[in-house]
Chain A
Amino acid sequence: GAVVSQHPSRVICKSGTSVKIECRSLDFQATTMFWYRQFPKQSLMLMATSNEGSKATYEQGVEKDKFLINHASLTLSTLTVTSAHPEDSSFYICSAARGQALPYFGPGTRLTVL
């Protein structure tokens, strides 16, 4: 099956710094990528949908200036958590889809903000 990777798999940063997470579709071109956040022992919450070459669509309650999403190519989307704070500590998961085919999920990135 298709493979979606995320980098890094785990990151620890200091409060106030920015962190970039990459999501790559390794063997297909993803017209759409999705970013989710999952707090411990909770479900995944959709943060935003990004289409290649256009601005991301953010879900209600997600600050677009804090969570910057760039989908510059058909195989790469990045999520930058700006001025991270401890409450941003979470598991961030991306998924990638080609057209209306089923999405494939990445393995997730665990962010810890000290």
Chain B
Amino acid sequence: SQQGEEDPQALSIQEGENATMNCSYKTSINNLQWYRQNSGRGLVHLILIRSNEREKHSGRLRVTLDTSKKSSSLLITASRAADTASYFCATDQTGANNLFFGTGTRLTVIP
């Protein structure tokens, strides 16, 4: 299976705290993307980091990529109740957009 793994599987934090999710994958990649999914809904693209990048920021999101360890992390700072969702990493091996998703982290932000 080319599916990546994420940890933790579930994370519960208080509003205002930071949330960190980790993703490990198995193959070489062209890029890695993070998505958010509210329960039973479609996906929202959050951020893309290319294989030659190590860190990327977008608003309250910070993503790191370590290709030597085949791992990535997503940090959400100053969390809000509205951040409650499932977060998935997805790898694109060739840049052809066929994505292989991680197992996901279910984040709950308690107001």
Contacts and interface: CB of A to CB of B under 8 A. Distances in A.
Interface string A80-110: 0000000000010101010010111111101
Nearest to A96: B97
Interface of B: 3, 33, 35, 40-43, 45, 48, 88, 90, 95-104
Given A43-B88, A43-B103, A32 B97 contact: yes
Nearest to A94: B42
B3 to A, nearest CB: 6
Given A43-B104, A91-B40, A93-B42, 10 more contacts: A36-B101, A44-B90, A44-B99, A46-B99, A49-B96, A100-B97, A103-B97, A103-B99, A107-B41, A107-B42
Q: Which 3 A-B pairs have the closest CB atoms?
A: A107-B42, A105-B43, A97-B97
Contacts of A72: none
A32 B96 contact: yes
Interface centre among B41, B98, B100, B102 (most CB of A within 10 A): B98
A45 interface: yes
A53 B35 CA distance: 29
A34 interface: yes
Interface string A34-54: 101000001111100100000
Given A46-B100, A49-B98, A106 B42 contact: yes
Contact of B42 (A34, A43, A46, A105): A105
A65 to B, nearest CB: 21
A109 B42 CA distance: 9
A34 B99 contact: yes
Contacts of B101: 36, 43-46
A43 B3 contact: yes
Contacts of A34: 97-99
Contacts of A95: 43, 97, 99
A95 B48 CA distance: 16
